[in-house]
Structure 1
Amino acid sequence: MNGPLARGGALRLAAVLLVALNLRGAIAAVGPVLPQLRADLDLSPAAAGLLTTLPVLCFAALAPAGAWLGRRVGTGTAVLAGMVAVALGTVLRVLGGPPLLFAGTFLVGAAMTVGNVLLPVVVKREFGPRAGTVTGLYTAALAAGAALTAAFTAPIAVLGGWEPALAVWAVLAVVAAVVWAGVFPRQVAAVVPGATAPPPAVPAAVWRSPVAWAVTAVLAMQSALYYAVTTWLPSLLVEDLALDLGTAAIAASAFQVLGIPGALVVPALLGRWRGQSGPAAVVALAWGVLPAGLLLWPAAWPVWVAVGGVAQGAGISLAFALVVLRSADDGVVRRLSGMSQLVGYGVGAVAPLAVGALYSATGGWAAPLALLVAVAVAHGAAGVVAGRPRVLG
């Protein structure tokens, strides 16, 4: 590759990674200041929980709309608009009471959905044979964005309160928007007369494909495991192992941070197999270690949390890579991405509620952990099917 092309490729990669940094960070920033925020705004526990659940519901419900927007105005323009909206929503949620807080949170979730759906399209189109490697890098950037905001929001809040601590992350979205606008040309689709409503975002042919459903099931099981563990791990460690809240918080942070190397492992694994069935089985096995270990040998929780942290990063990297690798072109990526995220994040939003209900019904963590082991098995089965080398055209 000659010099200018190499530089152009590096700039495109930088733009993709900057956008990815913003696709989870504003959500993860809420947790460290949630007690302060609840006290100031007099939010109930249920309302406070909605601040993290609402964006995940957006990921599911608005995924078809994100795919349609990419077709309507062009992928590059849609991603740029998404970054601007992330910045606006991040600021909006700190400007007043609960109505603006939830309106801004919804806007952030909707804007992130656009990036979730369309970034794989950009990767497929711009990086071709290196799409698997770039997918690993941008999913590592997702984890890095969440880790960054989780680590620094609380110290900023100590200096100036929770409002500036949340609002400051709009700067990262603005930087991503500026770089994206400079690297990718605006791609505005022609306006079709009479096109006032979005057509179905995912044609029936994709919904009828067993391969598409296997890919979708991988993201669904990954999301169920990730959001269930993210929600309930600290509570489990405090109640079952009598850890103090500080130690449980460190464990939860380690679980998130270890997703970064986990995401980077996947491209190396993909290069060693013709298909992706082998890596999918390895990722599912690593995922299963966390709930099985906590169930059978809870005293070794640092080991299980570490393995689970790597697994969650590898799992999301694999899920996004399968969307790209099973698609013949960027149009199929857009449709398959919309389908898998509609179903996958819908399952992810429900999983913490199901685990909590099972915990309440049984009075302990054994049944919820057994359920998560079963989900990890389903993750592996779906991954073996989705990893077979074939392409949706």
Structure 2
Amino acid sequence: MARFKYGLLAAILVVGLNLRGSIAAVSPVLPDIRADLHMSSATAGLLTSLPVLCFALGAPGAVWLGRRLGIYRALLVGCLVIALATAVRPYAGVWLLLAATVVLGLAMTVGNVLMPVAVKRDFGSAAGRITGVTTASLATGAALAAGLTAPLAVWLGWRHALAAWALMALVAVVALAGPATAAHRSPMTAVPRAGGMGARLSTNPVAWAVTAFLGLQSVTYYGVTAWMPTLLRDSAGLSLADAGLAMSLFQVLGIPGTLLVPALVHRGRDQRVLGITIGAVWLAMLLGLVLAPGLWLIWSVAGGIVQGMGISYAFTILVLRSADDHVAARLSAMMQLFGYTVGACGPFLVGLIQGATGSWILAMIPLWIAAAGLVVSAMVAGRERLVR
């Protein structure tokens, strides 16, 4: 049984590698994409915003698919679609590129919604610690994509460099084959019936605070992921290589950031101080990027650690605040639906404002507001209260 649990964990970790990588891969080669396809700043922002919006809109469908097929079969289907969409989208024009990006986002949503449910259900009392490890896999996938896409583009061109990440999704398909076909697991594969948010969930302030934290964390993370290299090249005069280094650091340091949270979150029953600290560091980093861009190395390091802590905190709080796996399924769907709807605004608003005004100070205001909102939402989400 223990060996089977390790197999499940390994499969979930490989799935996690695919839930951010194809989004993070765009940023290092965005100038090349814009030049070749004649994209505006607002349209370029959609390449990062659209998948996040799909995380929201596709959440109810992901719960339905999980109930229909079982968690691990649904994850397998999601990873197969990620592989296909990733392989196809770089070779189309602008509109087909955007359409394939929507499909990619919907496929990633299956993993976003069902991974926390699988952890809550299959790992019992270890769920909080396992959540930190699985969240680290998201940061690892993003870090690999951010760090390797630019060198691959030099060698292969940006189209082949983006398409190459389909291979990682195929690895996940193989890893999920065992859990998805294990007959003796069939009684456990159904996702608990979500039935919408439910009256209790929709009126629960803790549930809304957890949702808000994920949404505002997404605004800051995806806004920085989409635009930090361009901002630093414009404001600090960085070369393409140094801007790529800044983004690589931002993504790579998310890995230790995610692993810090499980160690800190269990030091007490109240997690408010940790959440407030995460929001405060985000705000300092985002202000520093614009007001002191020459210190980009400090901001990349601080931002990398705190972005990992932020996403890990959001999903760990989801698990800790859920009374059981039924509530985890409903709260996960609620978080994805409303949280990622808010999160999708970040990259698009930054690109829209910067393109219209030419000012990075004005463009970053939405991210500053989001970071301040993290502090407020953590005051409620961090309280020791179960969502039922």
Q: TM-score, normalised by structure 2?
A: 0.88
Cα distance in 2 for partners of 1:161, 1:363 equals: 29
- Tell me: CA distance 1:225–1:278, structure 2 relative to 1, closer, same or farther (3 Å): same
Cα distance in 1 for partners of 2:250, 2:135 equals: 15
- Tell me: CA distance 1:355–1:97, structure 2 relative to 1, closer, same or farther (3 Å): closer
Cα distance in 2 for partners of 1:13, 1:383 equals: 29
In structure 2, what is the equivalent of residue 204 of structure 1? 199
Q: Of the candidates 211, 215, 221, which is equivalent to residue 216 of structure 2?
A: 221
1:29 has 2:25 as partner: yes
Cα distance in 1 for partners of 2:361, 2:387 equals: 40
1:19, 1:83 within 8 Å by CA — same for their partners in 2? yes
1:292, 1:370 within 8 Å by CA — same for their partners in 2? no
Q: Secondary structure at the match of 2:123?
A: helix
- In structure 2, the gaps of 5 or more residues are 188-192
1:140, 1:260 within 8 Å by CA — same for their partners in 2? yes
In structure 2, what is the equivalent of residue 18 of structure 1? 14
Cα distance in 1 for partners of 2:354, 2:140 equals: 31
Cα distance in 2 for partners of 1:308, 1:282 equals: 13
Q: CA deviation at 1:39?
A: 5.1
In structure 2, what is the equivalent of residue 192 of structure 1? none
RCO comparison, higher one (Cα < 8 Å, 6+):
2
In structure 2, what is the equivalent of residue 232 of structure 1? 227
- Tell me: CA distance 1:234–1:171, structure 2 relative to 1, closer, same or farther (3 Å): closer
1:316 has 2:311 as partner: yes
Residue by residue over 1:106-126, the C-alpha shift from the partner in whole angstroms, topping out at 9 and shown as x without a partner, is: 221111011001100001011
Q: Of the candidates 38, 47, 50, which is equivalent to residue 46 of structure 2?
A: 50
In structure 2, what is the equivalent of residue 143 of structure 1? 139
Q: CA deviation at 1:152?
A: 2.3
- Tell me: CA distance 1:252–1:153, structure 2 relative to 1, closer, same or farther (3 Å): closer
Residue by residue over 1:206-239, the C-alpha shift from the partner in whole angstroms, topping out at 9 and shown as x without a partner, is: 1121111010111111111112222332343333
User: Share of identical aligned residues, percent?
Assistant: 51
How do 1:180-191 and structure 2 match up within 5 A? 180-184=176-180, 185=182
Cα distance in 1 for partners of 2:360, 2:194 equals: 44
In structure 2, what is the equivalent of residue 282 of structure 1? 277
1:291, 1:370 within 8 Å by CA — same for their partners in 2? no
RMSD of aligned Cα (Å): 2.8
Residue by residue over 1:125-161, the C-alpha shift from the partner in whole angstroms, topping out at 9 and shown as x without a partner, is: 1112211211111111111111112222333334444
- In structure 1, the gaps of 5 or more residues are 190-197
Cα distance in 1 for partners of 2:198, 2:290 equals: 42
Cα distance in 2 for partners of 1:275, 1:170 equals: 41
In structure 1, what is the equivalent of residue 88 of structure 2? 92
Cα distance in 1 for partners of 2:133, 2:214 equals: 18
Q: Of the candidates 370, 373, 376, which is equivalent to residue 371 of structure 2?
A: 376
Q: Secondary structure at the match of 2:314?
A: helix
Q: TM-score, normalised by structure 1?
A: 0.87
Q: Of the candidates 155, 159, 163, which is equivalent to residue 167 of structure 1?
A: 163
- Tell me: CA distance 1:235–1:178, structure 2 relative to 1, closer, same or farther (3 Å): closer
Letter in 2 for 1:323: L
Cα distance in 2 for partners of 1:303, 1:139 equals: 24
